Structures are given as C-alpha cells and as structure tokens.
Structure 1
Amino acid sequence: MFAPLNRPIEHWAGQRVWLIGASSGIGAALAKHALAAGASVILSARRQPQLALVAQQHPKAMVLPFDVLDTAAWQSSYTEIVSRMGGIDLVVFCAADYRPERTWEVNPSTAAQTLQINLGSVYTGLATILPDLIARGSGGIGLIASVAGYMGLPNASVYGPSKAAMINLAEILYGDLHPKGLNVYLINPGFVKTHLTAKNEFTMPALQTPEQAASAIWQGISAGKFEIHFPRRFTQMLKFLQLLPYRCRFALLSKFVKTP
C-alpha cells in the first residue's frame, strides 16, 4: 500500500486556511467544510458584496476582500492576516476566469486577463506567502486547476492552456517544496455548476454541485492526496484518453464537437 504523497491532516482545529476566490462556487463551499472542521478561515475575493453574502453564513470567518490582479493588495492582505492570525497553514487558489470560445473567437485582451487571473495571480500569491512557509517548514498549497488541462478540449482555447500550466506548476511545486516540509495539492475538477460553467451551451457530463466538489477536495486534502480529481467516473475516462495516440484521441473528440 502506497503512502499518500502529502502528510494527512487529522486535526483541523486551529489550522489557518486562506481561500482565494471564496465569493461563490467551490471556494465558498470549501469555507463550510473548513469551518465545520474547526479551522480558522480567511475568505478573499474581488466581489465584496458576494463575499459578504458568504460571510453571513460563516460569521466566524475573517473577511478580507481584494483583487488578485492587484500585486500590492496581496502583500497588504497577507500582512493583515499575519497581524491578526500569525500566518497561514493552508492556502487554496480558487479564483478563475473562463470564456467558452473557439480559437478564432479569442480576443487578445480578454485572453490576457484570463491568463493573469488563472495563472499570473498564483505566482503573485506564491511570492507573497512562500518565504514564510519555507522558513517555518510547514504548510500547504492547493491549486484548483481543471480536467481541461489534461488535453486540448474544444471551447477552452484560453482556459485550457491556463489550467494545463497550473498542473505543470503544481508538479514543480511538489518537487521543490515537499523536501522542505510543505504539502502541495493539485485539484482537477470535472464540470461544476457555477456562474462560469453557466456560460456553456452544451450538455456537461457528470455535472457536480459546488458542495459535492468541496467535499471531494476536503476529503482529498485531509487524506494527504497530491492529485484530487473528481468525479472519478468522468476524470478516469479523460485520463484514459490521454494515453491514446493523437490520431485516436482526435477522432474520438471530434464526435462530440460541432465545427461551424
């Protein structure tokens, strides 16, 4: 029996969890699990009114709104957390942007924004928190990527590459940080019902609720898994497609895509 790649977390009481992108969707649902487990939770997002609605359900959480694209706001927000809580034990990067679009529909300015939110902001966050975590020799980092990063899927012309980069980054982080005592979690959800996936005009197989997604993530982190992917009946199929030669994979994918 193989041991988990990360250290399991059996006791969450007193653990300080920072959820980036917690105003809705998976991030908001994760807050419920973290607080129920006894963790101290910091909720951050750009949309302050929506964040306030989440906080109404979780009055014990610390609310810290800021824009992930504001580099200076990362440092000031983290400084406030250190001042009030002494630091963090786990950060989960949930913030994301998505537009369903084919390659000929991509707008350079919106593509740059999506890449900056989905990927660039993660680097800013890492630069902010890693020095303290490395110095302490403990803590965890969770990156919410996507099964869209497994391979080139239609309608994910910018979103898919950003998530593929996050998968690659999580693997690099694990190699760099695990020897220093840190946990790294790669989270690859399938379709989850959020305001982002509501933009899709196609039927989404194995669609899950944010609560179902958050439950799978929380169980995976607690168990010390490196890759947390779900729902498995869907993600295992995509993992199988990854193994096929391009000729076969492209042929199978084309059956589900209508090209104008």
Structure 2
Amino acid sequence: MTNDNTSVDNETTAPSRVAWVTGASSGIGRALALRLARDGWNVAASARSTVELNRLCAEAPDRIVSFPLDVTDRTAVHETVNEITTRLGPVALAVFAAGTYARDYASDFDAARLKTMVDLNLIGTAYCLEAVMPAMIARRTGQIAVVASVSGYVGLPGAASYGATKAALNVMCEALHPELAEKSVCLSIVNPGFVDTPLTRKNDFPMPFLISSEAAADAIAKGLATNRYEIVFPRRMAVAMKILHALPARLRFKLTRRMLRSPD
C-alpha cells in the first residue's frame, strides 16, 4: 500500500527537496532562494540579517524558512545544518552565496581588509562545505554550488583581495570535484560577471554587461538543472575575461593598466 503522506526525510521513497542558500538576505542569494521556492524546493535561507530574512520569508511563507547564520562561525554552521536536517530534512542542494566585496589598490592595501574577505568569502564557504559534504557522500547523492566570480580568472586593478578569494574558491572546487563526482555528489562553481546587487552599487566605474539578480538566479537554476560544473554568465563577460587571462603577461598588463583609477 502506498502512503501519499510520506515524510520528506524518508529517502527510500521520496528524495529530499531541501535547498540551503547562504547569503540569502540580498543580491544573488535572495533572488535564487525565491527562484528555488517557485521551482518547488523547500528553502532554508541563511544570512546574518534576521530582518532581511524575515522579509524574504514573507514572500514565500510556505516554501522559505529562516535560519539566521554568520558563516564565519564554524560551530554555528554545523549547528545550523543539523537544525535544517531536523526541521526540514536532509540538504539535497546547497548554494553558498555569502560573501563581501571591497575595492583595494596598492596605495591603500590593507591586510585587515583582505582578512575580512578571506574569512567570509573563503573560510566561511569552507565551513559550509565541511558541514554538508559528509552526509551527501554517505548518502551518495546531493548537489553543491559555490558562488565565486569571473574576478577569480585574472588579477584586476582594484580587486586584489576580492579576486584572490574568488580564485581560491575556483581552485578549491576544481580540486574537490573529481572525488565528489566519484561519490555521486555534484559540485558546481558559479562565476558571475557584474550583477546588480547592493555590493556592486557602490562601484564608481562602468560595469559592462551588468545583469539583474533575477537574471543571475535564472542562469544558476538552469545550470544546476544540467549538473554543469562551471556556471558562468553573462557569456560575453566570461569570454572577455578568459581571453584576458590567456594573453601573455606583457599584453595583459598593458590592458589592465587602463583600468587603473584616475589620480585623486
């Protein structure tokens, strides 16, 4: 006899439809949480701002549940994953979009600013990976997406610290991917170009091929549906950055020097 009210955590009869999204209070994370909710996922939304998470949940109260979290707190990350599993079921999809961004140049380089970005963008993501990978490997199922940036392809003036964290995420995911694939866990790296978010709105320079957070969320959702390793958008920005990376250093620096800010 078939029981139509099977619990979400009964994996033998009903695969989990629980998605965990960090950085869900704004920008790409927020837009993706809403997109996943529309697609039928039960979304565990995490960010530091409880107020913004509550606003997000109000837009899809039947699908999105707030789990406030500072991803730089390793203990809290593990406790949050345990709480999500207990309340909603095992995490089938994890999207790590929490991050921060600030411009920096040689003239104002600050190691403390670099540490802030490393702690959130890189170490915080590592804590999240550490918390979800063992259970997915044990179940031999699951999907993870790490949001990096095309800034990780090549060093650009003004993005020394930010680009370094995104390059590290790309290398880390590339190293983890083969082993996870052997365990039937799908890992994707997401490399957006310029996306209209509260962080990029602080920029005081032209942002080519700028797209909305909603367009970014759509691109990520489509990429995840095909289990693609690298999800990169918009395509023209990605092509330009990859060509720049492939150029000889002398020619590459000739082009990147044109990106230097004007003297004050």
- Shorter-chain TM-score range: over 0.9
Does 2:136 correspond to 1:133? Answer: yes
CA offset digits 1:37-57 (Å, max 9, x no partner): 111111000011111111111
Q: Distance in 2 between matches of 1:82 and 1:231?
A: 34
The amino acid that maps onto 1:138 is T
Q: CA offset at residue 104 of structure 1?
A: 2.8
- The aligned residue for residue 154 of structure 2 is 151
RMSD of aligned residue pairs (Cα, Å): 1.5
Shift of 1:32: 1.7
List aligned pairs for 1:236-255, cutoff 5 A: 236-255=239-258
| SS of equivalent to 1:217 | helix
**How far off is 1:14 after superposition?**
4.9
Instruction: Quote the residue 1:185 is aligned against.
Output: 188
Displacement of 1:257: 2.4
Residue 209 (1) aligns with residue 212 (2): yes
Contact 1:14 1:39 in 2 (8 A): no
Aligned mates of 2:143, 2:16 — CA distance in 1: 14
Question: 1:116: Cα distance to partner?
Answer: 0.5
Query: Which of 141, 162, 166 is residue 165 of structure 2 equivalent to?
Result: 162
Q: Describe how 1:1-260 pairs up with structure 2 within 5 A.
A: 14-60=16-62, 61-258=64-261, 260=263
Do 1:14 and 1:40's aligned partners in 2 also have CA atoms closer than 8 Å? no
Aligned to 2:3: none
Are the aligned partners of 1:14 and 1:38 in contact in 2 as well (CA < 8 Å)?
A: no
Which one scores higher on RCO, CA 8 angstroms, separation ≥ 6?
1
SS across alignment from 1:127 = helix
SS at match of 2:220: helix
State the AA in 1 paired with 2:139: R
Shift of 1:103: 2.6
The equivalent residue for 1:7 is: none
Once residues 173 and 215 of structure 1 are traced to their aligned partners in structure 2, the CA distance between those partners, rounded to angstroms, is: 25
Q: Counterpart of 1:184 in 2: which secondary structure?
A: strand
Kindly state the Cα deviation for residue 111 of structure 1 after the two structures are TM-superposed: 1.7
**TM-score, length-scaled by structure 2:** 0.91
* 1:8 corresponding residue in structure 2: none
Q: Deviations over 1:174-200 (max 9, x none)?
A: 122111100011100000111111221
Number of equivalenced pairs: 249
Structure 2 regions of 5+ residues with no counterpart? Answer: 1-14
Q: Which structure has the larger Rg?
A: 2
User: Which runs of no fewer than 5 residues in structure 1 stay unpaired?
Assistant: 1-12
| Contact 2:157–2:259 under 8 Å retained in 1 | no
CA contact (8 A) 1:100 1:199 kept: no
* 8 Å Cα contact 2:98-2:125 kept in structure 1: no
Q: What SS class does the counterpart of residue 255 from structure 1 fall into?
A: helix
Verify the 8 A CA contact 2:187 2:229 in the aligned structure 1.
Answer: yes
